[in-house]
């Protein structure tokens, strides 16, 4: 979320200026910073239209609704099913929980909304075989975060895009975690050269101010008519002014090149730790969405690092996930790696 760190001057300025001017007005009216942000997003992505929400889950809810409405209009009443991936994470509302391909999140909340099917990630054949008469879309994170930091194979995404085109399915990328510069590109799909029909954003977009968005190609977006979807707070002046400042910062000359450079440095340092400490199984990920899989539970290392002032988290039990602000420096990485090394050394004694 804190893509540009804490107290970034551009973000602080945008928020204070906007707060002094206009905090909220209804979406019945044109909202200037909202228009500005939408323009920035479409000019810098493959999408043509944006809907603003308040969180990642809400953005995904909107994407699911749009896919269903589009499919219904174009291919008939019985097209509603969305195929998602095992180990995915799409949010904690009922529909996005249902879209999330991890049963541990489902257990206590059944019955969940119908119309979701799960397949293993990076398994093209499984996806192809899962398509049925009701399928309307395929939804995935190009780089899975919560599920353990797994990036899509380039060849897989290319084939999935072709499959979706051949079978009249929409391709939805959940870039809530992988978007807004995290991968080293503004959006992770740009790493792969594979364009989604619908894309969702949140987390880093507002740099800490709650905002989400779903974006779509014109022809797909056209399925949503006035009244089909809406949000009281979505795209409000404060949130969109903040997100505009974040996006302008990330789009400034040299920023993304800097992310790629520091990400390369961080990955190299993590690889060095992997070579030194046998407890490390693998280092993986893209850009500043990195994971280190251990042979043991990650919790001990996460806690040990926290005691020393380094905040990281553990996902999928044995994976340490690193999602630092995009503005970290080599000195920050060195400090983090030194702390991590102490914790890994303890496990390797
Ligand atoms: N999608 C992905 C890929 C996420 O990582 C998350 C949150 O971790 C979400 C959706 C849900 O976002 P939010 O917590 O803002 O609802």
177 CB near ligand 1 (under 6 Å): yes
Clarify whether 173 is annotated catalytic. no
Tell me how far apart the alpha carbons of residues 266 and 271 are, in angstroms, rounded to a whole number: 9
Q: Is residue 320 part of a domain?
A: yes
Using the mean position of ligand 1's atoms as its centre, give its distance from the Cα of residue 200 in Å.
10
One domain, residues 263 and 162 = no
57 CB near ligand 1 (under 6 Å): yes
Q: Is residue 3 part of a domain?
A: no
Per the residue annotation, which of 51, 52, 80, 89 is the catalytic one?
Answer: 89
Query: What percent of the chain clears pLDDT 90, i.e. is strictly above it?
Result: 99
The mean pLDDT of the chain is: 98
One domain, residues 42 and 79 = yes
H/E stretch holding 198 reads strand 198-201
One domain, residues 265 and 228 = no
Q: Which domain CATH number covers 340?
A: 3.90.1150.10
Among 190, 225, 251, the domain-final residue is 251
214 CB near ligand 1 (under 6 Å): no
One domain, residues 273 and 217 = no
Q: Give the position, in ligand 1's atom list, of the atom nearest the Cα of 91.
A: 11
Tell me how far apart the alpha carbons of residues 117 and 82 are, in angstroms, rounded to a whole number: 6
Which residue's CA is the nearest one to ligand 1's atom 5? Answer: 177
pLDDT, tens digit (0-9, with 9 covering 90-100), for 265-311:
999 999 999 999 999 999 999 999 999 999 999 999 999 999 999 99
Q: Is residue 4 part of a domain?
A: no
Predicted pLDDT of residue 303: 98
Q: Which structural domain range is residue 26 located in?
A: 9-251
202 CB near ligand 1 (under 6 Å): yes
Using the mean position of ligand 1's atoms as its centre, give its distance from the Cα of residue 191 in Å.
21
**Radius of gyration of the CA atoms of the chain, in A:** 20
One domain, residues 199 and 63 = yes
Using the mean position of ligand 1's atoms as its centre, give its distance from the Cα of residue 176 in Å.
6
Best mutation site among 3, 87, 91 for ligand 1 pocket (most ligand atoms within 8 Å of CB): 91
CB environment 250-261: b (16+ within 10 A), e (fewer)? beeeebbebbee
Q: Are residues 318 and 305 in contact, defined by beta-carbon separation less than 8 angstroms?
A: no
Q: Domain total for the chain?
A: 2
pLDDT, tens digit (0-9, with 9 covering 90-100), for 165-196:
999 999 999 999 999 999 999 999 999 999 99
Q: Residue 87: pLDDT above 80?
A: yes
Among 206, 233, 251, the domain-final residue is 251
Q: Is residue 221 part of a domain?
A: yes
Q: Are residues 91 and 64 in contact, defined by beta-carbon separation less than 8 angstroms?
A: no
Predicted pLDDT of residue 349: 74
Q: Give the position, in ligand 1's atom list, of the atom nearest the Cα of 60.
A: 10
185 CB near ligand 1 (under 6 Å): no
SS (H, E, C) 224-290: CCCCCCCCCCCCCHHHHHHHHHHHHHHHCCCHHHHHHHHHHHHHHHHHHHHHHCCCEEEEEEECCEE
One domain, residues 212 and 263 = no
Q: Give the position, in ligand 1's atom list, of the atom nearest the Cα of 145.
A: 5
Clarify whether 65 is annotated catalytic. no
One domain, residues 127 and 227 = yes
Clarify whether 174 is annotated catalytic. yes
Between vectors from CA 55 to CA 49 and to CA 60, what angle results, nearest 5°?
A: 60
Q: Is residue 2 part of a domain?
A: no
One domain, residues 122 and 238 = yes
pLDDT, tens digit (0-9, with 9 covering 90-100), for 221-237:
999 999 999 999 999 99
Q: Residue 242: pLDDT above 80?
A: yes
Q: Nearest Cα to 170, choosing from 52, 47, 87, 40?
A: 47
Q: Which domain CATH number covers 93?
A: 3.40.640.10
One domain, residues 230 and 103 = yes
Predicted pLDDT of residue 348: 79
| Mean pLDDT value across residues 91-97 | 98
Per the residue annotation, which of 51, 174, 269, 286 is the catalytic one?
Answer: 174
Predicted pLDDT of residue 193: 98
pLDDT, tens digit (0-9, with 9 covering 90-100), for 49-82:
999 999 999 999 999 999 999 999 999 999 999 9
Using the mean position of ligand 1's atoms as its centre, give its distance from the Cα of residue 296 in Å.
26
């Amino acid at each position: 979320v804190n893509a540009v760190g804490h107290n970034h001057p551009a973000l602080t300025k945008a928020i204070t200026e906007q707060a002094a001017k206009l905090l909220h007005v209804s979406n019945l009216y044109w909202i200037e910073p909202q228009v500005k942000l939408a323009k920035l997003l479409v000019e810098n992505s493959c999408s043509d239209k944006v809907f603003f929400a308040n969180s990642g889950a809400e953005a995904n809810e909107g994407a699911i609704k749009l896919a269903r409405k589009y499919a219904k209009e174009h291919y008939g009443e019985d097209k509603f099913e969305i195929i998602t991936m095992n180990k995915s994470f799409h949010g904690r509302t009922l529909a996005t929980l249902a879209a999330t391909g991890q049963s541990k999140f489902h257990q206590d909340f059944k019955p969940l909304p119908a119309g979701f099917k799960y397949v293993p990630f990076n398994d093209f054949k499984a996806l192809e075989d899962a398509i049925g008469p009701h399928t309307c879309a395929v939804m995935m994170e190009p780089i899975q975060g919560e599920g353990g930091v797994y990036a899509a194979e380039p060849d897989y995404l290319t084939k999935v895009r072709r499959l979706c085109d051949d079978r009249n399915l929409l391709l939805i990328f959940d870039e809530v975690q992988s978007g807004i510069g995290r991968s080293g590109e503004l959006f992770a799909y740009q790493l792969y050269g594979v364009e989604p029909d619908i894309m969702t954003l949140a987390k880093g977009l507002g740099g800490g101010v709650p905002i989400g968005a779903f974006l779509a190609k014109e022809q797909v977006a056209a399925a949503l008519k006035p009244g089909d979807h809406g949000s009281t707070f979505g795209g409000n002046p404060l949130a969109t002014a903040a997100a505009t400042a974040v996006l302008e910062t990330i789009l400034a000359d040299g920023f993304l090149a800097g992310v790629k450079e520091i990400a390369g440095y961080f990955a190299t340092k993590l690889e060095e730790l992997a070579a030194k400490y046998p407890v490390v199984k693998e280092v993986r990920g893209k850009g500043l969405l990195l994971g280190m899989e251990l042979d043991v539970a990650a919790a001990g290392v996460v806690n040990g690092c926290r005691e020393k002032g380094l905040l990281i988290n553990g996902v999928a039990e044995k994976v340490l996930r690193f999602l630092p602000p995009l503005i970290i420096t080599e000195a920050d990485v060195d400090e983090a790696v030194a702390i991590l090394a102490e914790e890994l050394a303890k496990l390797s004694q």
